[in-house]
Chain A
Amino acid sequence: MIGLGGLYVVAGLFFVAIAVLSARDATNPKRWKNTVFWGLFAVSFLFGSYLPDVLNGLVVLAMVLTAGVSGLGRGEPATSGPEERRASAARLGNKLFWPALAIPLTALTGTFLFKRPELAGLVDPKQATLVSLILGVFVALAIAMPMLHARPMVPMQEGRRLLDTVGWAAILPQMLAALGAVFAAGGVGTAIGKLASASLPAGSQLAAVAAYTIGMALFTMIMGNAFAAFPVMTAGIGLPLIVHRFGGNPAIMGAVGMLSGFCGTLMTPMAANFNIVPAALLELSDRHGVIKAQVPTALLLLLTNTVLMYVLVFRS
């Protein structure tokens, strides 16, 4: 059965290739740092499940020190110039879109197919989406490579070109997920919950609703993830005040409360995969450029959610 284990081998081999190609790239002044960084990431993918926790921790620390002090370098693998690209685009026309669209289409089809009982033994149903996405990559390569007469190393070099533009930010989402787990183990959620219920606004329904929605957004900004904030804020403010004291509808509170948290997700660098990684992928000079584009909508929606919850939660 294909599950996370299989995906980790694929990803591990990808990062091995990145490390080797980085080592051989003399255009990158920091090529050995890149080699060490991606090599260690490959080790984590290939052997992480078998290593003792302390060793896994040391691998992370080594990666952080390699990239965190004075950063990684950027290689310049040979790629096509603007003229070549225009000519190639004119020659191939809309055929170029097929491999690109094959990725989401395979991801979509696979997600549905692999959850069917007759195919359940093939792919771990819990990982159907991720497995299908990676399958989509192979389908896209199978279409694109013959179409472009590309040699096997070409996609790896192009992958390295893009990965180098993202740089160390590529592991930030995973680091933050790990930090969330350490926060949980260290009792951060409980402490925040106590703090929230100690400073509970007495009295009005509006104050309770506002404390809950704004609290969800703020705590989500700290944790980078509304899922981590929801249980803490709902146990600290939502249930005791909105539901138990004022008799609000728990379904409306939960639904709109979670969406208030999402407003926080739009405004924090801690939600790296949504905010920091795309800024790197799109080569923005401002690391917080995507967040800045989102803040007006996020604030207006937080206000909207507060009003919506106040109007709806006590009526039905």
Chain B
Amino acid sequence: MLSLIGIAVVVLGFMARMNPLLVVTAAALVTGLAGGMGPVEVVATFGKAFQENRYVSVVWVVLPVIGLLERAGLQERAKTLIGAIHAATAGRLLLLYFVFRQITAALGLTSLGGHAQMVRPLIAPMAEAAAESHHGPLPEEARQTVRAHAAAVDNIALFFGEDIFIAIASILLIKGFLAQNGILVEPLQLSVWAIPTAICALLIHGTQMMLFDRRLARMIAEGKR
């Protein structure tokens, strides 16, 4: 049970809003020490794990080209394009992106999205422009809300779309774990049962996006008062 101290460090550290890098490092050191490792061994274990997970950070290599295109006015062009379509509102645009992202993820096309490649350069500015064409210049709070929801749509549509695809990592993990315990299931049996939740996710978040424009209008009106 001593190994659970690390979890306490994480929860308290995040609640106290301390720097997450310090919190995570402290949690790793404490967990290792509580698990009976010596100090050198703990540092080595953490270093090895950090080194083995470098692939997580390779994605930052996209930033130069995204920055270059922003410098040339990519966000402005995306805004012009959406601002000219009167039917486009922030809520409808985000709902449309949700459906696109969920369907493509369900077909295994999870790379058609992402925060650095899609949300920052295209989706967030488009949603902001759609909101501005209906509500005028956005107060800072409303702008931040629109951006946060652009990121949220990318996540939710991905999570509740990708499991419908039979070769995605989580389906293979479930299949593998059940097989270790002597239960054989086919990936298709698993992915079929991801469909009801996927439909509910679309209904639940879709409803919120349909109500989003009204919420935004209310937020802006309250800000003016």
Contact = CB atoms under 8 A, between A and B. Distances in A.
Query: Chain B contact residues (Cβ within 8 angstroms of A): what range?
Result: 35 or more
A63 B51 CA distance: 13
B219 interface: no
B2 to A, nearest CB: 8
B20 to A, nearest CB: 6
A198 B143 CA distance: 47
Given A96-B69, A150-B68, A254-B174, A266 B50 contact: no
B182 to A, nearest CB: 10
Interface of A: 4, 7-8, 10-11, 14, 41, 44-45, 48-49, 51-61, 63-64, 67-69, 71, 79-80, 84-90, 92-94, 96-97, 99-100, 103-104, 107-108, 111, 127, 129-130, 132-134, 137, 140-141, 144-145, 148, 150, 154-159, 161-163, 166, 168-183, 185-188, 191-192, 195, 222, 226-227, 230-231, 234-235, 239, 243, 250-252, 254-259, 262, 265-266, 269-270, 272-279, 281-287, 289-290, 292-294, 296-297, 300-301, 304-305, 308, 312
A141 B4 contact: no
B163 interface: yes
A1 to B, nearest CB: 16
A11 B68 contact: no
Contacts of A57: 42-48, 50
Given A186-B32, A251-B185, A258 B47 contact: no
Q: Is the interface of A mostly helix, strand, loop or mixed?
A: helix
B56 A230 contact: no
B6 A144 contact: no
A78 to B, nearest CB: 10
Interface of B: 1, 3-4, 6-7, 10-11, 14, 17, 19-22, 24-25, 27-28, 31-32, 34-35, 37, 40, 42-78, 80-81, 109, 111-122, 124, 144-145, 147-152, 154-156, 159-160, 163, 169-171, 173-175, 177-178, 181, 183, 185, 189-194, 196-197, 200-201, 204-205, 208
Nearest to B206: A297
Contacts of B71: 79-80, 85, 148, 154, 158
Nearest to A243: B183
14 contacts: A48-B54, A61-B25, A89-B77, A130-B55, A168-B19, A170-B60, A172-B20, A172-B21, A181-B49, A186-B34, A186-B35, A279-B148, A281-B115, A301-B201
Given A182-B31, A187-B35, A254-B174, A14 B155 contact: no
Nearest to B20: A172
Which secondary structure dominates where chain B touches chain A?
helix
A282 to B, nearest CB: 4
Nearest to A86: B76
Contacts of B65: 99, 103, 137, 140-141, 144, 155, 159
B177 to A, nearest CB: 5
A134 to B, nearest CB: 6
A262 B159 contact: yes
A132 B47 CA distance: 28
B159 A104 contact: no
Given A68-B21, A94-B81, 9 more contacts: A14-B60, A56-B51, A93-B77, A94-B77, A178-B50, A182-B45, A230-B173, A266-B152, A293-B152
